[in-house]
Chains A and B, each alone.
Chain A
Amino acid sequence: MSDNNNNNEKFHEYDGIIEHDNPLPMWWLWTFFLTIIFSFIYFIHYELAGGQTQSEELAAAMAEIEQAQSKAHTSSPMETEESLKAAFGNDGILALGESQYTSKCASCHGAQLQGLIGPNLADKFWVHGKGTRMDIVKVIRDGVAEKGMPPWGPVMKKDEIYAVSAFILAKRGTQAPDAKEPQGEAVEDYLTAQ
């Protein structure tokens, strides 16, 4: 063996355990040095030399998102009662509306729209607006904070909000046995005119 240093000889002994004294592996030592060097540079950059802070990082990311949101908003056509009427007539919309209603709305408005925590959605009484398509879409999208109706705009896609609205309108006038008492103003023509 060419090994002529003491590394592979007994250096110390404790309770029969022999200790050698091999050199530190170079790759290990360099890993240690490089992490230390990187850490110094990182600390100096972010804490002393004015590197991007977390709030600056957030502001940049939010600016990008807001730009995308406003672009999506302006490129989509203006909503009107007529445009919604056309959209609500799409094929299969009621099936999508029903599944969305069951998973997101039924817990507060009842499986038959009869009202539970939230008001009855099938009767002719309206708390917010007068039961137009525009009104229903707006309440679902923006919510009514003081009444505990959460805004679904951030959670549901546009098609899903349309589908749920169409579903609710399609159920108008249905009478569940345990329907909640009326809340809001009666709007007679809502049941017929549309």
Chain B
Amino acid sequence: MNTGTGSHIEKIFYDDDIVKKFVMATMIWGAAAFVFGLIIATQLAYWPLNTNWEWVSFGRLRPLHTNAAIFAFAGNAIFAGIYHSTQRLLKARMFSDALSKIHFWGWQLIIVSAAITLPLGYTQSKEYAELEWPIDIAITLIWVVFAINFFGTIKRRREKHMYVAIWFYIATIITVAVLHIVNSIEIPVGMLQSYPVYSGIQDALVQWWYGHNAVAFFLTTPFLGLMYYYVPKAANRPVYSYRLSIVHFWALVFIYIWAGPHHLLYTSLPEWAQTLGMIFSLMLWAPSWGGMINGLLTLKGSWHLLRTEPLIKFFVAALTFYGMSTFEGPLLSIKSVSALGHYTDWIIGHVHSGALGWNGMLTFGMIYFLVPRLWKTELYSKKLLENHFWISLTGVLLYYISLVVAGITQGMMWRAVDKDGALVYPDFIETVVRIVPLYWVRALGGLLFIIGFVMMCYNIYKTIKAAPKNQEPESVQVSRSGYDEKNEQPHRKLEGMGLTFSVLAFLAIAVGSVIEIYPTLSLHKYVNPANIVEPHTPLEIAGRDVYIKEGCYTCHSQQIRPIASEVLRYGPASTIEESMYDRPFQWGSKRTGPDLSRVGKKYPNLWHLNHMIDPRAVTPKSIMPNYPWLAEKNTDYLSLRKKLSVLKMLGVPYEDDVVANADIHAQKQAMEIAADLESNGAPKGLEKKEIVALIAYLQSLGQKGKK
């Protein structure tokens, strides 16, 4: 082993070309994510913007917006920051330039494939995991490429001890791999369609273990790592506390993984899992704030920089929004607060204070820091940067406040019961109409955020344009350091052991995952045989796939909580058995429209036909999009045998004849529904159309209990 600090000086080149690429990709995909966000925000305020064009209706675009924001914008920002800071913190060029390039282009290809498949309706309907199985495989491969490249760099490092930023990167890479693989175990039923192996409460639990920890390990830990590098760098201030880093890092990665079930409070998920989700969310408050404290106290004493280095403002705002949303998160995880806030826009406001405030502002600060250094020039305009900051801050605040008010208002209206024991606002649409003005304010907030971003694009463009041409990569002189350190404390020793550190990080996230997920894998233990329901008929399965494809779950839940006002409004609370064959589960997470778990047989078939073609024909003031194409597109009967055979293999008790003749059974049921529609005045020939399959599915909801 080479010992002795500074004994041997080496000249190396950092690969900044890959960093530049990721920075540009961040900007481009950021623009896409924000614009799609503005479009769907405006669709909620002004329904005609859904048009009659299937590819731009809310249910198709919403997953595109979330995926673009998380994996394209934030993802590329993370990679830019990790590739830039890791090389410097480890004093080593990235392990392999080829892997760096494969990572970059592979990731962009995945994003492009998402941008094509999601508007076309290819989706698994699992939030932030919508992409279908071939893309899931591609994500896994590219992530492995990234991991090899990253851990290879650790192996070749010249700095013995890994800085706290590297700890967070390690936790990110390991955990995202585990989350993605476990949540994506699915059986293909077509080139771009699959059913998950998990069903009902299992699928809900695994999905929200994934969904919550996508926030934790894609939007929190990597950004904390970036914060630990770029905040002290930009402010040129020492990091406040090493021991705080140790305590909050390990507490964060150990506790975060347990918190997923707080997305499922008051659902049919077993109560012990809900309680674990709530209490671990509460215990997460302090570890989350550890990062904010370390960041803000690092900046303490450098407030004068806010004038001379205005990009620090972005970091201060990012840390403040991080502190706000990691306080609000535990608050919303308290069961009684969740009872009010769940399914409302409060949650959307909450995630955007994190996504725009924390991830967005930190990324902007990082890019303003990186671009002049990477292109070896000065930023074009500090004034423009300053304007960008204030306008986007106003935008985020307008966005957040309007949605918190909307969410609490609607939540209070849903639960209001008068002295005679009746709902005060029994008509769901009344509660929607009340908050539509706030949807306009939210869209305005989003617009301001985008205007700020356009200023940034211009600023960055002018900066790069003014950069000196034909820059040769510059070598840096590094020497191996830290290898002669004496009397290392235990954690200090660990920081010198990349593999052991990574294994321990893996174990930290494995404990909570196994304890929560393992018991529900034996679903039968939770099912009461007396309440077992009948599975969906083949036509209903076809209709269910239409429901998934159109993204109905983005606005409608199928989960009635055991809360009195909810039982009054929708009927008896949902049971475990009612979703036991649901692959994927359709509980939803937002009620822009009412819950649908007991909508079956509530209205005639013709009502549904009219409602899907023009919702306002039956519900004046509805903000739901029109779905005219459902009466034009043919139902995919041919794939039903395959679909049912996969469902049967996964344990749904279909008789052999039903599987073998699934399409015939489906067509027979479709004829009956079409005949009923026709006898009430609807046009002929609808039995071939998707609308009939969807009506069959909707009419079956809540009707599958034992006769």
A31→B286 contact, CB < 8 A: yes
Q: Which residue of B lies closest to A69 (CB)?
A: B421
Instruction: Contact check, A108 vs B161: say whether CB atoms are below 8 A apart.
Output: no
Contact assessment for B239 and A18 in the assembled complex, using a CB-CB cutoff below 8 Å = yes
Q: CA of A19 to CA of B163 in the docked complex: distance in angstroms? A: 9
Is B346 interfacial (CB 8 A cutoff)? no
Q: Which residues of B170-227 have CB atoms within 8 Å of chain A's CB atoms?
A: none
Asked if residues A17 and B427 are in contact (CB atoms below 8 Å), the reply is no
- Closest B residue, CB atoms, query A157: B422
Query: A12–B297 contact, CB under 8 A?
Result: no
Contact bitstring B227-239, A, C-beta under 8 A = 1, else 0 = 0010011000011
The chain B residue sitting closest to A42, CB to CB, is B279
**A186 beta carbon closer than 8 Å to chain B:** no
Q: Are B421 and A32 in contact (CB under 8 A)?
A: no
Does chain B have a CB within 8 A of A10?
A: yes
Write out, one digit per residue, whether chain A residues 51-82 have a CB within 8 A of any chain B CB (1) or not (0). Answer: 00111011001101111110110000000000
Whether B562 contacts A57 by the Cβ 8 Å rule is yes
Does B275 lie within 8 Å of A42, measured CB to CB?
Answer: yes
**Closest chain A residue to B232 by CB distance?**
A17
Q: Which of A17, A24, A145 contacts B233 (CB 8 A)?
A: A17
Query: B378 contacts the other chain (Cβ, under 8 Å)?
Result: no
What residue of chain B has the Cβ atom nearest to residue A102's Cβ? B620
CA distance A25 to B293 in the complex (A): 9
> B306: CB under 8 A from chain A?
no
Q: Which of A90-98, A125-133, A148-156, A163-171 contacts B (4 or more CB under 8 A)?
A: A148-156
Q: Does A23 contact B (CB under 8 A)?
A: yes
The chain B residue with its CB closest to the CB of A75 is B420
- Is the CB–CB distance between A148 and B243 below 8 Å? no
B241: A residues at CB distance < 8 A? 20-24
Q: Which residue of chain A is the closest to B285 with respect to CB atoms?
A: A35
Does B573 touch A at the CB level, under 8 Å?
yes
**B266 at the binding interface (Cβ < 8 Å):** yes
B568 touches A154 (CB 8 A): yes
- Cα(A17)–Cα(B233), bound, Å: 6
**A102 contacts across to B, CB distance below 8 A:** 620
- Whether the Cβ atoms of B163 and A17 lie closer than 8 Å is yes
The answer to whether A155 touches B238 (Cβ under 8 A) is no
Contact A145 B601 (CB under 8 A): yes
- One of B143-151, B382-390, B604-612, B659-667 at the interface: B604-612
Q: Is the CB of A72 within 8 A of B421?
A: yes
**A83 close to chain B: CB less than 8 A:** no
Give Cα distance in the complex from A35 to B286, angstroms: 8
By a CB distance below 8 angstroms, the chain A residues around B604 are 108, 117-118, 147-148
Q: Is the CB of A117 within 8 A of B607?
A: yes
Say yes or no for B540: interface residue by CB 8 A criterion: no
A117/B680 in contact, CB under 8 A: yes
Interface size on B, residues (CB 8 A): 68
Q: Does B240 contact A (CB under 8 A)?
A: yes
Measured between beta carbons, the chain A residues less than 8 angstroms from B280 are 39
Q: How far is the CA of A192 from the CA of B229 in the complex (A)?
A: 87
CB within 8 Å for A150 and B563 given contacts A72-B421, A155-B426: no
A163 to chain B, nearest CB (A): 15
Give the most central of A14, A29, A46: most B CB within 10 Å.
Answer: A14
Closest to A38 in B: B282
- Contact B275–A148 (Cβ < 8 Å): no
Complex Cα–Cα for A117 and B242 (A): 71
Q: What's the nearest-Cβ distance from chain B to residue A26, in Å?
A: 12
Any B CB within 8 A of the CB of A187: no
Q: Which of the listed residues B241, B423, B427, B619 has the most CB atoms from chain A within 10 Å of its own CB?
A: B241
Cβ of A116 < 8 Å from any Cβ of B?
yes
Question: Whole-angstrom distance from the CB of B326 to the nearest CB of chain A?
Answer: 12
Residues A10 and B417 in contact, CB atoms below 8 Å apart? no
Tell me the minimal C-beta distance from A164 to chain B in angstroms: 14
Instruction: Say whether, besides A22-B241, A47-B272, A69-B422, A58 and B279 are in contact (CB < 8 Å).
Output: no
**B573→A58 contact, CB < 8 A:** yes
Do residues A108 and B238 form an inter-chain contact, with CB atoms below 8 A? no
The answer to whether B507 has its CB under 8 Å from any CB of chain A is no
**A154: chain B residues within 8 A (beta carbon):** 422-423, 426, 568-569
Task: Kindly state the separation between the CA atoms of A72 and B420 in the bound complex, as whole angstroms.
Answer: 5
Known: A39-B279, A42-B279, A69-B421. A19 touches B603 (CB 8 A): no
Pick the contact of B243 from A24, A32, A117 — CB < 8 Å? A24
Contact A54 B238 (CB under 8 A): no
The minimal Cβ–Cβ distance linking A161 to chain B, given in whole angstroms, is: 12
Q: Per-residue 0/1 for B561-600: is the Cβ within 8 Å of any A Cβ (1 yes, 0 no)?
A: 0111001110001000000000000000000000000000
Complex: how many Å from CA A157 to CA B430?
Answer: 14
Q: Which A residue's beta carbon lies closest to that of B267?
A: A54
A4 to chain B, nearest CB (A): 18
Q: Contact check, A47 vs B275: say whether CB atoms are below 8 A apart.
A: yes
Contact: B89 with A15, CB < 8 Å?
Answer: yes
B159 at interface by CB-CB < 8 Å: yes
> Which of A15, A38, A55, A155 has the largest count of B CB atoms less than 10 A from its CB?
A15
Find out whether the CB atom of B271 lies under 8 angstroms from the CB atom of A54.
Answer: yes
Q: Which of B85, B245, B420, B618 has the most CB of A within 10 A?
A: B420
Q: How many Å from the CB of B251 to the closest CB on chain A?
A: 7
Q: How far is the CB of A108 from chain B (nearest CB, A)?
A: 7
A58 touches B567 (CB 8 A): yes
Choose one: A23, A107, A157; the contact of B618 (CB below 8 Å).
Answer: A107
Instruction: Report the Cα distance A36→B330, complex, angstroms.
Output: 13
Question: Given the complex of chains A and B, what is the CA–CA distance between A13 and B125 in angstroms?
Answer: 46
- The CA of A148 and the CA of B159, in the complex, are separated in Å by 73
Known A47-B271, A61-B564; contact A12-B247, beta-carbon cutoff 8 A: no
Once the chains bind, are B282 and A39 in contact (CB under 8 Å)?
yes
Interface hits, B61-94 → A, CB 8 Å = 85, 88-89, 91
Q: Are B420 and A39 in contact (CB under 8 A)?
A: no
B238 contacts which of A19, A61, A72, A116 (Cβ < 8 Å)?
A19
Residues A28 and B421 in contact, CB atoms below 8 Å apart: no
Chain B residues, Cβ within 8 Å of A62:
564, 567
Tell me the complex Cα distance, A65–B416, Å: 12
Q: Given contact pairs A19-B245, A42-B279, A154-B426, enumerate 11 new A-B contacts (beta carbons under 8 Å).
A: A12-B163, A14-B161, A17-B229, A22-B240, A32-B286, A47-B271, A54-B266, A65-B417, A69-B420, A118-B604, A148-B601
Chain A to chain B contacts (Cβ below 8 Å), 16 pairs: A15-B89, A15-B163, A18-B238, A20-B242, A24-B243, A24-B247, A31-B285, A38-B282, A47-B275, A58-B567, A62-B564, A72-B422, A107-B610, A107-B619, A147-B604, A150-B603
